[in-house]
Each structure stands twice: as structure tokens, then as C-alpha cells.
Amino acid sequence: MGRETADFHLDWFSATDPEQVRRERNKARELRASQWWKNQLARGRCHYCGQATPPRELTMDHVVPVSRGGSSTRGNVVPCCKTCNTAKRAQLPVEQGAAGEALRGPLPGEDDEP
């Protein structure tokens, strides 16, 4: 893939309608108030690094960031420690490269008991 193609490819993923971003952030606020999210926090673990973290210190991370077209749905948000959330920024976990191996984890629900 040439440089121009790569730039276009990245621009395409980051081009998001500001109104859509606003709507998704509002949905995230609603999701934070849900019992489902409170249960996620109660587990006390960062999705990416697996560190035990007090629930009040976990943040909501969009696996596919809202600024990159992600949605505020149960399948796209995970509890995350502030260190991992800061390291991930607006990137997809796969974009972290070898330095971001800790940012790759099971999808939400994969580690749940049946």
C-alpha cells in the first residue's frame, strides 16, 4: 500500500460526523448509568491489562473509538484503567503494535461463564 493510499485509509477511519459523535457520547452517558455497566465495574478488572482496579478508578473505553466511528453499545465498551485508556488514545487495539500487546484482550463477554 503506497503512502497516499495509507493516508487515505487512515483519514477514512477518522472522518466522523460531529453530530454522530455527540449522539454516541450521549448514549455513553446513559450506558454508564445502567445496571449492566455497574456490574462491569464491580468486577474490578481492566479489560486490557487485567489489573485489579477499584471500580471507581475504572473508565469506560470504546474499543472502536467514537471519533473513529465506534458506537456506544455494550459490545464496544469495556472497563479500562486510566493508564491503558491514556495509552490507547483514539487508536484501535490492533494499531498499538508490539508495544500494545497488553491492550489486546478478549472481546466483552468472552471471559464470562456460560
- Do residues 78 and 112 lie in contact, with contact meaning Cβ atoms separated by under 8 Å? no
In this predicted structure, the answer to whether residue 6 has a pLDDT above a threshold of 50 is: no
15 pLDDT tier (thresholds 50, 70, 90): low
The CATH number given to 3-103 is: 1.10.30.50
- Do residues 72 and 31 lie in contact, with contact meaning Cβ atoms separated by under 8 Å? yes
pLDDT at 92: 86
pTM (two decimals): 0.71
Domain ranges of the chain: 3-103
Rg (CA), the chain: 15
Compute CA distances 28 → 39, 107, 109, 111, 113, whole Å.
Answer: 15, 18, 18, 23, 25
In this predicted structure, the answer to whether residue 61 has a pLDDT above a threshold of 70 is: yes
- Average pLDDT score over residue span 66-89: 93
Reference 78, options 113, 56, 105; nearest CA is 105
For 43, counting Cβ atoms within 10 Å of its Cβ (0-12 exposed, 13-18 middle, 19+ buried), the class is middle
pLDDT at 25: 92
With pLDDT > 90 as the criterion, what percentage of the chain qualifies?
55
- Average pLDDT score over residue span 85-94: 88
In this predicted structure, the answer to whether residue 69 has a pLDDT above a threshold of 90 is: no
